[in-house]
């Protein structure tokens, strides 16, 4: 059984690789930032992960999850997301306050407890942020979504939110933006760095910065 620390490294590598879709290698510096550790620590730990065949390590270039490491990472992710959903659905906690709790619990829940949660919620496939809940043994379908920051004007549905900052999540809910919400991008000004969204049923247009939009993934809808 990998230690919590190991699990966190694998999760971070997975997340970074997915973030800027399909970068072949994750640089160690990114990991240092993500995990808030010093570069030297990362190098040391990555060496150890490589010895255990959890990652492929190319010194000075970066790391990549091995098949084994990927599987591990998906299991952690599954636990994390199932727990988040559980906290929101069953424990009635707010989606903005649920991430940290899940972060701790994901290293402590047994398979049995996990199975109970899963069953209790009817085998859900998405967590409260719209992220897919990996299933043991199954591939995660390559996401059909695009970053809100990269998208032309048109109609979209909010798919996932890749930022766990409670402030941000609160602002999102307050603005009516949740996974599943439909809206139109009415303008996108690269100079000011502001997009304007027209929510379904929303009166005024909602401005959102490019930086924030990077952490939001959307699914294009027909122009209907």
Q: Is 163 in the site for a second copy (CB under 8 A)?
A: no
Task: Please give the Cα distance from 89 to 73 (Å, whole number).
Answer: 24
Q: Is 112 in the site for a second copy (CB under 8 A)?
A: yes
Q: Is 109 in the site for a second copy (CB under 8 A)?
A: yes
Chain residues 151-170 in contact with DNA, contact rule CB under 7 A: none
Chain residues 55-114 in contact with DNA, contact rule CB under 7 A: 59-60, 62
Question: Could you say which DSSP state residue 142 is in?
Answer: P
∠ CA 25-26-30, rounded to 5°: 160
Task: Please give the Cα distance from 186 to 164 (Å, whole number).
Answer: 26
Q: State the binding partner of 221 from a second copy, DNA, none, CB within 5 to 8 A by kind.
A: none
Q: Is 38 in the site for DNA (CB under 7 A)?
A: yes
Residue whose tokens read 């999540």: 169
- Nearest Cα residue to 54 out of 67, 43, 45: 67
Helical ranges in the chain per DSSP H: 4-19, 28-35, 39-51, 67-89, 99-105, 111-120, 166-174, 210-213
- Candidates 15, 18, 37, 118: give the one binding DNA (CB under 7 A): 37
- Candidates 39, 116, 150, 173: give the one binding a second copy (CB under 8 A): 116
Task: Please give the Cα distance from 11 to 77 (Å, whole number).
Answer: 7
Binding part of the chain for DNA, among 3-11, 93-101, 110-118, 133-141 by CB under 7 A, reads 3-11
Chain residues 59-98 in contact with a second copy, contact rule CB under 8 A: 87, 90-93, 97
What residues line the site for DNA (CB under 7 A)?
3, 5-6, 27-30, 32, 36-48, 59-60, 62
Q: Which residues sit at the interface with a second copy, rule CB under 8 A?
A: 87, 90-93, 97, 100-101, 104-105, 107-110, 112-113, 116-117, 120
């Amino acid at each position: 059984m990998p230690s919590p620390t190991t699990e966190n490294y694998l999760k971070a590598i997975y997340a970074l690789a997915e973030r800027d879709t399909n970068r072949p290698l994750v640089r160690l510096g990114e990991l240092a930032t993500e995990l808030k550790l010093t570069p030297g620590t990362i190098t040391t730990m990555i060496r150890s992960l490589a010895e255990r065949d959890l990652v492929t390590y190319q010194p000075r270039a970066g790391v990549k999850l091995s098949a084994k490491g990927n599987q591990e990472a998906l299991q952690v992710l599954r636990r994390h997301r199932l727990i988040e959903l559980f906290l929101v659905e069953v424990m009635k906690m707010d989606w903005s306050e649920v991430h940290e709790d899940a972060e701790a619990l994901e290293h402590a829940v047994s398979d049995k407890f996990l199975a109970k949660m899963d069953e209790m919620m009817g085998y859900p496939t998405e967590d409260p942020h719209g992220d897919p809940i990996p299933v043991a043994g199954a591939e995660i379908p390559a996401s059909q979504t695009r970053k809100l920051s990269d998208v032309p004007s048109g109609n979209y549905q909010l798919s996932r939110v890749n930022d766990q900052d409670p402030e941000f999540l609160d602002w999102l809910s307050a603005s009516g933006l949740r996974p599943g919400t439909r809206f139109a991008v009415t303008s996108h000004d690269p100079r000011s760095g502001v997009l304007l969204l027209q929510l379904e049923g929303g009166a005024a247009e909602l401005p959102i910065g490019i930086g924030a939009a990077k952490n939001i993934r959307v699914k294009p809808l027909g122009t209907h």
